[in-house]
Structure 1
Amino acid sequence: MSQLAFDLAYRAASGREDFLIAPSNADALAWIDRWPDWPSGRMAIQGPPDCGKSHLIAVWREVSAARLLQPQDLSVEAVPALVADATGLALDDADAVAGLPEREAALFHLINLAAESGLSLLFAAREAPNRWPLALPDLRSRLAATGCVAIERPDDDLMAGLLVKLFLDRQTPLDPEAVTYLVARMERSFSAAHRVVVALDRVALAERRRVTVPVARRVLQEQGML
């Protein structure tokens, strides 16, 4: 008899020792290590969803004790309190401010106040700052002086390592051959890796079994990847 599979919260390993280094992300990690020597005291990490941008923010916060912000935290009135007593500021999903006048104004104010206070700023976004569809010219000007590094598409080694890490994060029992099978056949993207692992974890829990090649084949078929 299968058991019910629930969407339970889990904590992904997000320390520096857990970050998988590959040619596609080595430059981004190098810029984190180069802190505080960033252009204008600011750096942006650009890349597709689930590529490790938030993980790099966590790595930087380990050494900087920076305050983590989300776009919804931003308002002009809130900025002074956000900067006060901060040792640095990290804004995840930063390009989500684009097209929202209040948040654009708040980010402009945040950049100025952080510069006056000598605080470093780290942005994570899907697009480089010069591609954000901003309405505020002054904000575009400030962001033009921000350094930017991209995380590229993963190679086979990174995909394999990412799958193993995601399974370990969820404590999903796994046959190594299943990883080789998945890497050779699945969509080459970080988001696809997360989707497949979530689906396989549900099957493994519901059926009380390891992730094997036959299970992986079935889930890829269900995901439309075969």
Structure 2
Amino acid sequence: MGQIALPLRSGARGGPPRIVIGNANAHVADALTQPESWPFRTAVLTGPPRSGKSLLARWFAASGNGAAVDDAQALDETELFHRWNRAQADGTPLLVIGGEPPWDITLPDLRSRMGGSLQLEIGQPDDAMAGDLLLSLAEERGLPLEPDAVHYLLPRAERSAAALERLVAEIDRLSLERKSAPRLAIWRAALECLHGPDEPRLL
């Protein structure tokens, strides 16, 4: 496990956002350090919402390894094709960020270029990565979440980056609202607010 600190600060109380590296994205981080090996010097990155695609794009662009096009599925396909052509002409590696696969591209030339590029996909975090992600999200908010929280929360939480982000935000909200440290009573209340008291979350 590891983390990549971004060179850009967020509005969070705790400091700059960090990319937690684990089973779901280690292969992506490795690939982004070797753009010279990409077919057509292009990689297409997809994955679940809030899984760190945009953060990885910012890190890649800031590293000087190439250019990134975020939220590419929302762009006009002709414009995206022109961006690809310009990157090819300049010899600049291009990281294209999509949403969740599959990506239905209707422009034949663009479909063929994207299909021939390196395909990268972020998966779901395992226990170790989810625990690191939970603590990192809390740290970004300046939320003093004790390590024991991981053992209590993870078996009862949905296992996705987006769900863990919502959980940390709810713990933070309740802790501020009640002017109370984020301990067991707050953890339990946050889970109940998100899932209801009677819904079993044990995995």
Matched letter for residue 187 of structure 1: E
The residue that corresponds to 2:4 in the other structure is none
Q: How does 1:162-173 map to 2 (within 5 A)?
A: 162-173=133-144
The residue that corresponds to 1:125 in the other structure is 98
* Match among 71, 88, 91 for residue 93 of structure 1: 71
How many percent identity over aligned positions?
A: 34
Q: Matched residues in 2 for 1:138 and 1:91: separation?
A: 18
CA deviation after TM superposition for structure 1 residue 96, in Å: 2.2
Contact 2:58 2:68 in 1 (8 A): no
Contact 1:57 1:122 in 2 (8 A): yes
CA deviation after TM superposition for structure 1 residue 30, in Å: 0.9
CA deviation after TM superposition for structure 1 residue 190, in Å: 0.7
Give the TM-score normalised by structure 2.
0.84
Q: Which 5+ residue runs of structure 1 have no aligned equivalent?
A: 1-7, 66-87, 98-102
The residue that corresponds to 2:3 in the other structure is none
Q: Which 5+ residue runs of structure 2 have no aligned equivalent?
A: 1-9
The residue that corresponds to 1:10 in the other structure is 12
SS of the residue corresponding to residue 123 of structure 1 reads strand
* Match among 161, 173, 179 for residue 132 of structure 2: 161
Count of residues in correspondence between the two structures = 187
SS of the residue corresponding to residue 31 of structure 2 reads helix
Q: How does 1:51-70 map to 2 (within 5 A)?
A: 51-64=51-64
Contact 1:172 1:210 in 2 (8 A): no
Superposed structure 1 runs of 4+ greater than 6 Å apart: none
Deviates more, 1:209-218 or 1:187-196: 209-218
The residue that corresponds to 1:22 in the other structure is 22
The residue that corresponds to 1:71 in the other structure is none
Q: Deviations over 1:43-86 (max 9, x none)?
A: 11211011121221122123217xxxxxxxxxxxxxxxxxxxxx
* Match among 142, 145, 149 for residue 174 of structure 1: 145
Q: Matched residues in 2 for 1:90 and 1:40: separation?
A: 14
Q: Deviations over 1:148-168 (max 9, x none)?
A: 111111101111100100110
| RMSD of aligned alpha carbons | 1.9
Contact 1:94 1:125 in 2 (8 A): yes
Give the TM-score normalised by structure 1.
0.76
SS of the residue corresponding to residue 19 of structure 1 reads strand
